[in-house]
Amino acid sequence: MIPWDRGFANPLLTEWFEASEPNGMGKTAVVIGAGTGWDAELVADRGYQTIAFDISPTAVETAQRNHPDSKVQYVVADLLDQPAEWHHAFDLVVEIYTVQALPIRLQATAIQKVGELVAPGGALVVIATPRTEGQPDEEIKGPPWPLTRATVESFASAPDLRLIAFDESPKPTEPTALRWRAEFLRD
């Protein structure tokens, strides 16, 4: 039993696809910390040639087992030590709950690494748990270590990577909790 395996794609990602209607044909995508693969399957279904990676071999095996006929390339990789050929390589980058799974001292580096994956003209979608307003780092007993608004905005880690949308909504499976979705574009 994996507590964050919901058995379907994150509804906030599904909603983003429905609102944005991107055409993934001929484009590349990467799903970070892909877990059991449901988000990656959604991305691939929208036509993107999709790589989904996770640091956990067990997660990658589970994703492959969950989706035996998948078009997604599932690989074991570390966000903090990613292959050089992934640099600025993806038209769509999806980051859901991976950075917040890392201790706060690693988050700035992780966020920079997320940004490095985005190709010129590409989009980055980030879905994260908001931290309680004003809560200091020392009080957070993670995992997860939820993100501040400033931390989410820092995904615009280079001058050519711009925040273009930010939404707060109830967590689809637990309406008393909130979730943030932010979208960034690389010039």
- What residues make contact with ligand SAM under the rule CB under 6 A? 4, 10, 33-35, 54-56, 59, 78-80, 96-98, 101-102
For ligand SAM, the closer CB: 10 or 49: 10
Which of 50/98 has CB closer to ligand SAM? 98
Shortest distance in whole angstroms from residue 61 CB to ligand SAM: 12
Neighbours of 17 (CB within 10 A): 17
CB 172 → ligand SAM: shortest distance, Å? 12
The whole-angstrom separation of Cα 26 and Cα 131 is 37
Residue 10 C-beta: closest distance to ligand SAM, Å: 6
- If the CB atoms of residues 56 and 154 are measured against ligand SAM, the closer one turns out to be 56
Alpha helices in the chain (DSSP H): 11-20, 38-45, 57-66, 104-116, 149-153
- How far apart CA 40 and CA 72 sit, in angstroms, is 7
Our CB check for ligand SAM shows the closer of 96 and 125 to be 96
The closest alpha carbon to 11, from 123, 172, 129, belongs to 172
Residue closer to ligand SAM, measured from CB, 105 or 187: 105
Least distance (Å) between residue 16 CB and ligand SAM: 14
Structure tokens given for 125: 């979608």
Buried/exposed code over 76-85 (b: 16+ C-beta within 10 A; e: otherwise) = ebebeebeee
Q: How far is the CB of 26 from ligand SAM (least distance, A)?
A: 25
User: Measured on CA atoms in the order 51, 52, 57, 62, is the torsion positive or negative?
Assistant: negative
